[in-house]
Chain A
């Protein structure tokens, strides 16, 4: 029962990832796509956490931290790119 319900929650998270993927492909503007990519990252974190419980081992828990950090950093870099047109500022006066 436990395993079945966890499987159902993984399937639901996958559905929500595919909805966000639709927004990534269709999205009318660039910020829409970034927002959808960010939420895909969060959903993957959820999937990994549920997978840890399903497989009954705590060895995948590092992945949560890794994906969280990667999603955050990539969102920050993309937003920076949108705002200024570059990722790394060379001018440090503002």
Chain B
């Protein structure tokens, strides 16, 4: 029975690491000043935390039940693929929506104006 206890302790450590990561990144929601810095917290640490939890679940079902659960693998791949996409989408649409970044340096604003002018000139 000691083999099972070893597996369980590894799984619990991984789950706790993932949980603490996702809790800390939620704290980042409270502390950071604007959407863009918050999206840093949301995309990176939450993704890593959830990946830790899902990997722990995968290991648990692999070693305790001798069961390779393909659904879980699909879920891991899906989270891995979609998390950066949502981060990029939210940052982009927030900028187009008109939320100003809080820092001093902003090299995008002038270029976006230029591109819009070029596009409207093409329309006419």
Which residues of A approach B to under 8 Å, CB–CB? 2, 5-6, 8-9, 12-13, 15-17, 19-20, 22-23, 29-32, 34-36, 38-39, 42-43, 45-46, 49-50, 52-53, 58, 61-62, 64-65, 68-69, 72, 75-76, 79-80, 82-83
Contacts and interface: CB of A to CB of B under 8 A. Distances in A.
Interface residues of B, number: 50
A23 B30 contact: yes
A75 B15 contact: no
A72 B12 CA distance: 28
Interface string B5-27: 00010011001101110110111
A83 B57 contact: no
Interface SS, A side? helix
B86 A76 contact: yes
A61 B69 contact: yes
A32 B75 contact: no
14 contacts: A5-B12, A9-B18, A13-B22, A19-B29, A31-B97, A31-B99, A35-B39, A36-B29, A50-B53, A53-B57, A58-B67, A61-B57, A61-B71, A62-B71
Nearest to A16: B26
A50 B71 contact: no
B94 A23 contact: no
Interface SS, B side? helix
A20 B22 CA distance: 11
A20 B61 CA distance: 30
Contacts of B60: 53
B22 A19 contact: no
B65 interface: yes
B112 interface: no
Contact of B22 (A8, A16, A34, A75): A16
A25 B57 CA distance: 32
Contacts of B8: 2
Interface string B90-119: 101110110100000000000000000000
